[in-house]
Structure 1
């Protein structure tokens, strides 16, 4: 199958016209009520003669606004696309008194929201089979969702899934600091607090970034977060890290129980994810294909064309096969 994707040169010239115009004319947005009454911002678009339906589960700090180019490309290739901003980030509601806290009480809350989204927003508009497309933290959420409801999605693609985080500290020290942070927040009667060394939102220049080789895509990302200050998110809290540890341990332990046909991309130049653990877990899935993308950084959907085109081609080939 031949697919059409936006290239970096076209993106630089036409983002504000072609993709922004598409976003205003074709994409619908709404707010649903997630678990415990948290507001969850959602968006979708359904082309004529859609092949099937894809639900996007995004990464930490991300907003659906960051996915405009990807959503445009999927739509142009006849996929109905649905995406939500996970609780505590993007345009969705916060659960602490600091809107920049990277916080969640449990990754099960993310899963509850994703299933509610598919039940209430996606299902009434679904065309063809229902598939799942995940990035980073969204991959952990996706894996937990496949464990919770194995028959929900016919196929799943996980890009740079967060099955392990590359630590700056030895595991024993990181675990000790997480528990110290949790105890300190309980002592202060605070629901959350930044993990040691974490800060509010910081915008790094392209030359210091380890997310993508694409300068134009990185600068569009930073421009978006400068303009839409409400989607800015700082570092993780001790509570988020504890919840992530619990989630990743469960995924590793239960990986053989994930039976949904899955395509997993591992970015070989990833400095965010522990690729050794990620690949170990991926190989334990019951029905998964692992593809390593040499030299690519973490953000495979906003990488340079040479990496992104390969990932998207394999993704669409996989998701649209009968």
Structure 2
């Protein structure tokens, strides 16, 4: 079953849509429609290139409006999209709160579709990637298998291994066993439909910034269909299979692209130690660990975000910094200029 969601972008009082958005759908080879948005920098005849944003699990384009404004100010065309089963893209289950996938190979089809139907057709080169968590891991897999269209990649907290799991082998075995019993579309044991980013701030593992956390929670409160609950057993099984195949020295050494990896020193979601080990074997890459930063680096407090953007500006050719970012930067006309 494929359930479709209306293709549009949603604004809230604290999260305006950056000016000039072009929203469309991009079909994948297996018939899934992805919600895709594109922005061009205002007042610039020749953009510095295109940045593709690859979001993490349970995210949606609206969470990245501030990031879009940051990038268009730097002179880039920006493309953002929702993975299948998330945000405004087609969902695989009737219950839209279930984060489900049977194989991460399906996400690769999403990436290929956006590259071939959007970037290569409508966007100026050179192409850069700004990828977070699950999106960064999916991109690493693509890069290791020969994807060479990105001039440089900035990977934020890539999902190579899950943090704070004492016995990951037991978790994987349990997911395999429950999936084998036909329960792959069930929520994980103890999981439910409450969106991750709407739980109490004090208990959150994503960011230390209460204002940005509240902003993102407000989007889901206003547009409930964008929210995604806990993963299904099938998603967990697919994720562990994917990470086991990706998180190896051989895969890292196969990535010849220029890569900057940025990890959070206090990330309770993905393993920073695994990120550092993987990065050691990148032929043209290195890692930076930001002390005190949690998982969502672009949703963190201003001092952490400014460090991320300083690293981005130093790494991505043609990027030009805009000075210190004001707290909770406005995404309106002035911010997108």
Same fold at TM > 0.5: yes
Does 2:180 match 1:183? Answer: yes
Does 2:239 match 1:244? Answer: yes
Match of 2:261 in 1: 264
Moved over 4 A (4+): none
Alpha-carbon offset, residue 82 of structure 1 = 0.5
Q: Secondary structure at the match of 1:297?
A: coil
Match of 2:327 in 1: none
Does 2:20 match 1:26? Answer: yes
Q: Secondary structure at the match of 1:265?
A: strand
**Distance (whole Å) between structure 2 residues aligned to residue 66 and residue 35 of structure 1:** 27
Contact (CA 8 Å) 2:48, 2:318: kept in 1 or not? no
Q: Secondary structure at the match of 2:269?
A: coil
**Distance (whole Å) between structure 1 residues aligned to residue 166 and residue 229 of structure 2:** 20
The partner residue of 1:46 within 31, 40, 46 is: 40
Cα displacement string for residues 102-145 of structure 1 (whole angstroms, at most 9, x for unaligned residues): 11122121112111111111112222311111011111111112
Match of 2:325 in 1: none
**TM-score, length of structure 2 as denominator length:** 0.85
Contact (CA 8 Å) 2:164, 2:268: kept in 1 or not? no
Q: Secondary structure at the match of 1:320?
A: coil
User: How many residues get paired?
Assistant: 301
Alpha-carbon offset, residue 237 of structure 1 = 1.2
User: Matches of residues 145-294 of structure 1 in structure 2 within 5 Å?
Assistant: 145-168=142-165, 170-185=167-182, 192-202=185-195, 203-253=198-248, 254-294=251-291
Structure holding more helix per residue: 1
**TM-score, length of structure 1 as denominator length:** 0.89
Tell me, which stretches of 5 or more residues in structure 2 are unaligned?
1-11, 320-337
Match of 2:293 in 1: 296
User: Matches of residues 311-322 of structure 1 in structure 2 within 5 Å?
Assistant: 311-320=308-317
Contact (CA 8 Å) 1:210, 1:271: kept in 2 or not? yes
Does 2:72 match 1:72? Answer: no
The partner residue of 2:123 within 113, 121, 126 is: 126
Which of 1 and 2 has higher RCO (CA within 8 Å, sep 6+)?
A: 2
Cα displacement string for residues 174-222 of structure 1 (whole angstroms, at most 9, x for unaligned residues): 1221012202226xxxx62212222112421222222112111111010
**Distance (whole Å) between structure 2 residues aligned to residue 263 and residue 77 of structure 1:** 18
Contact (CA 8 Å) 1:52, 1:320: kept in 2 or not? no
Contact (CA 8 Å) 1:90, 1:230: kept in 2 or not? yes
CA RMSD of aligned residues (A): 1.8
**Distance (whole Å) between structure 1 residues aligned to residue 101 and residue 192 of structure 2:** 17
Q: Secondary structure at the match of 2:144?
A: helix
Alpha-carbon offset, residue 148 of structure 1 = 2.9
